[in-house]
Chain A
Amino acid sequence: MIVGVTYKRPDYDPIGIMKKGEIHDLRLHVERVETMYVYFIYGTVGEPEILRACKELFVDPITQDFSYTHEGDSLKLITEKNAWLVQVKSKTGVTDAVGESAMKAMALIGIHGVERVESAFSYIIKGKLTESELRTVCEKVLCNPLIHNYRYVRV
């Protein structure tokens, strides 16, 4: 299952604000950058358990919203239109502390059947960027291609 967690308000999203500033350093202009925390949960965990994990662990009810899907493209969790959507995920073998902690924490609250959890970040970028500019943004601001894989789509 794939869970995506976003902020209810842009001013709750400091990473989005910071990334926007870093894109400006490259002398590219975007209107808005928003982040989504993504958790890939592998195993035999059922939907009610995932919902419980969201309520008690992954999602802060005061500042965050979430959506989930059983499988498929995690970027489809984002409903925004007229934007670039980018997902950044650590390459296999790179330490994923958040994923490891998430797995431990799910066991802690009595959720069984979790084989592993992998974490990722998705970014919603609102603004006029060519594909080549977007790739620059991906490689210079959003990730380090040495240790991350990234993919993007225009919606």
Chain B
Amino acid sequence: MVKVLVLRVEGTNCELETANALRLAGAEPELVHINALMKGQKGIEDYQGLIIPGGFSHGDDISAGVILANQIKYLMGNEVRAFVEEGKPIMGICNGFQALVKSWLLPAIDGPFIKQDATLAFNDSGVFKDEWVHLKPVKNHACKFLQDVKKGVYLPIAHAEGRFIVDKETIKEMNSNKQIVFKYVENPNGSVENIAGVSNPEGNVFGMMPHPERFVHGWMHPSWTRGKINEEGDGLQFFRGFVKYASKF
């Protein structure tokens, strides 16, 4: 069974449903608190994949995900670098995405932990937004474990700081590296070029603001009572792709 580490810190909230989604996708998820990693009780090198789930790590204090990002850089930096360079998959969802961006692992144009290329700032509406959005995958994107997500997906967002901001040079590079993976059909938060999810140039580190773990079966769809739903929700394929790719390691 593919072993996936689901990282927890104080304020992580979405770990149970993320672990459930991984189980449905055929993996063996393990919820591990960063304290256990710090104390050496567990090591990420023993896992085939790493997921940083959503939540409000450290209350979003100072800015969303920045303290978790520093925990990753300072407490597990070497292990994470080795993980990334081995090509193993890392997926950050919502708060996890914020942490990957602020720990300089995404978009990471020049490599992991080199510099901060982008940020996820306050929604242009200025408030937390809970709604469902349509996403479209970008053609020929680099993310190695989401190649099988070929059609548009419908997923919920729930965030206050989801506005993806990059400068012109970085976006040019990202486009030429095919690092933009998903775009919003209708931009809910003011993200540059409607960006919803991105990967690193190698395609093994990926992050997005919407929550795939919140749509793994048809009855999680907001209007399932109107009929015409699939038994499987649009979000499950994200985990299947992740697990399939992780199984190589």
- Which positions in A face B, CB cutoff 8 Å? 11-12, 14-15, 17-18, 56-58, 60-63, 97-98, 101-102, 104-105, 108-110
Q: Give the residues in chain A near B126, CB-CB below 8 Å.
A: 14-15, 17-18
How far is A120 from B58 in the complex, measured between Cα atoms in Å?
Answer: 18
A12 near B62 with CB under 8 A, answer no
If A63-B121, A108-B67, A108-B75 touch, whether A101 touches B58 (CB-CB below 8 Å) is: yes
Q: Which residues of chain B in 16-73 are interfacial with respect to chain A, using CB atoms and an 8 Å cutoff?
A: 58-59, 61-63, 66-67, 70-71, 73
A60 near B119 with CB under 8 A, answer yes
Closest beta carbon of chain A to B180's beta carbon, Å: 17
Chain B: interface residue total (CB-CB under 8 A): 26
A105 near B67 with CB under 8 A, answer yes
Q: Give the residues in chain A near B167, CB-CB below 8 Å.
A: 62
Q: Which of B61, B66, B71, B75 is the most central at the interface, judged by chain A CB atoms within 10 Å of its CB? A: B61
Closest beta carbon of chain A to B96's beta carbon, Å: 18
If A18-B126, A63-B165, A108-B75 touch, whether A57 touches B66 (CB-CB below 8 Å) is: yes
| Cβ contact of B62, chosen from A62, A98, A109, cutoff 8 A | A98
* B118 proximal to A (CB < 8 A): yes
Least CB separation from A99: chain B residue: B61
How far is A97 from B124 in the complex, measured between Cα atoms in Å?
Answer: 25
A-B contact pairs, 22 of them (CB 8 A): A14-B124, A14-B126, A14-B127, A17-B126, A56-B70, A56-B73, A57-B67, A60-B116, A60-B119, A60-B121, A62-B116, A62-B118, A62-B165, A62-B167, A63-B119, A97-B59, A105-B58, A105-B66, A105-B70, A108-B67, A108-B70, A109-B73
How far is A15 from B123 in the complex, measured between Cα atoms in Å?
Answer: 11
* B166 proximal to A (CB < 8 A): yes
How far is A63 from B167 in the complex, measured between Cα atoms in Å?
Answer: 10
Q: Give the residues in chain A near B75, CB-CB below 8 Å.
A: 108
Q: Give the residues in chain B near A97, CB-CB below 8 Å.
A: 59, 61
Least CB separation from B11: chain A residue: A101
How far is A98 from B70 in the complex, measured between Cα atoms in Å?
Answer: 16
Closest beta carbon of chain A to B126's beta carbon, Å: 3
A14 near B61 with CB under 8 A, answer no
B165 near A101 with CB under 8 A, answer no
* B182 proximal to A (CB < 8 A): no
How far is A81 from B202 in the complex, measured between Cα atoms in Å?
Answer: 48
* B215 proximal to A (CB < 8 A): no
A12 near B74 with CB under 8 A, answer no
A12 near B121 with CB under 8 A, answer yes
* B122 proximal to A (CB < 8 A): yes
How far is A17 from B124 in the complex, measured between Cα atoms in Å?
Answer: 10
